[in-house]
Amino acid sequence: MRKPIIGGNWKMNRGTPEESNQMLERLIPLVKDIKSVDIVIAPPFTVLTTVYEILKDTKIKIAAQNMHFEEKGAYTGEISPIFLRKVGVEYVILGHSERRDIFNESDALINKKLKKALSIELKPIVCIGEHLEDREAGNTKKIIEYQFNETFKNLTKEEILKTVIAYEPIWAIGTGKTATPEQAEEIHIFIRELLKIKFDIETADNLRIQYGGSINPNNAEELFNKKNIDGGLVGGASLRSDSFFKIIKAAIK
């Protein structure tokens, strides 16, 4: 049995201590008895320590939205994964489509970051997904397979098992256009096939694969009811405690 995982990616939307405090003080009592779902919040770097202080006695974990692949050095404006570990961060989102598309992050770069994260025991949430043109041209699986092979290059079975994969069709992110549960499930099954070929059946069965892209309280349950969807990575609807809580509840099996 895979434990569902729900991530709330605040992106660049909630970055002050007041905003973080307000949202989380409401969320904490709502989720305090939920044990069957892993809950992760990914705030901007500016509030990681604030969020750590707020969440430290709860089961909610913290993710960073990005990291650098080196531990230290002359990289102005970048954040070392070691710094993240030191301020209580447990997860890191890698390869989000906004990083790939706006900041030109390649599969090779994401692979480098992924290996570094694994080497210092930061748990990666790695995003893969196709553009609308790819889907319309019937190339979704081809793109997913390519990203999968390049992003997870030279990983051992032990390493990949520490990873969470987020399938995020780019056309569904922030657009209000969610993939149908069937469309999402089809790609989740395909990713499990790739895991089986590259690793083995045990890896394919045990690795958690989240869906992401315009999840909201109305569509969450139908998506999470699919056998191969292990929760979700939520952007817009994670900014408010009430909608995020409803999505978390929808993941309880």
Active site residues: 96, 168
- Give the whole-angstrom CA distance, residue 137 versus residue 126: 24
Q: With respect to ligand PGA, which residue has the nearer C-beta, 80 or 178?
A: 178
Give me the residue whose beta carbon is nearest to ligand PGA.
Answer: 235
Q: Which amino acid would we find at residue 242?
A: D
Q: Report the phi/psi class of residue 109: left, alpha or beta, with left for phi > 0 and alpha for psi in -120 to 50.
A: alpha
Phi and psi (nearest 5°) for 231?
95, -165
CB 63 to ligand PGA: min, Å: 11
CB 114 to ligand PGA: min, Å: 17
Q: Report the phi/psi class of residue 14: left, alpha or beta, with left for phi > 0 and alpha for psi in -120 to 50.
A: beta
- Cα end-to-end span (Å), the chain: 10
**Other beta carbons within 10 Å of 154:** 8
Give contact residues for ligand PGA (rule: CB under 6 A). 9, 168, 173-174, 212-215, 233-237
Q: Which amino acid would we find at residue 219?
A: N
CB 53 to ligand PGA: min, Å: 25
Q: With respect to ligand PGA, which residue has the nearer C-beta, 215 or 229?
A: 215
Q: Report the phi/psi class of residue 61: left, alpha or beta, with left for phi > 0 and alpha for psi in -120 to 50.
A: beta
Q: With respect to ligand PGA, which residue has the nearer C-beta, 134 or 199?
A: 134
CB 127 to ligand PGA: min, Å: 7
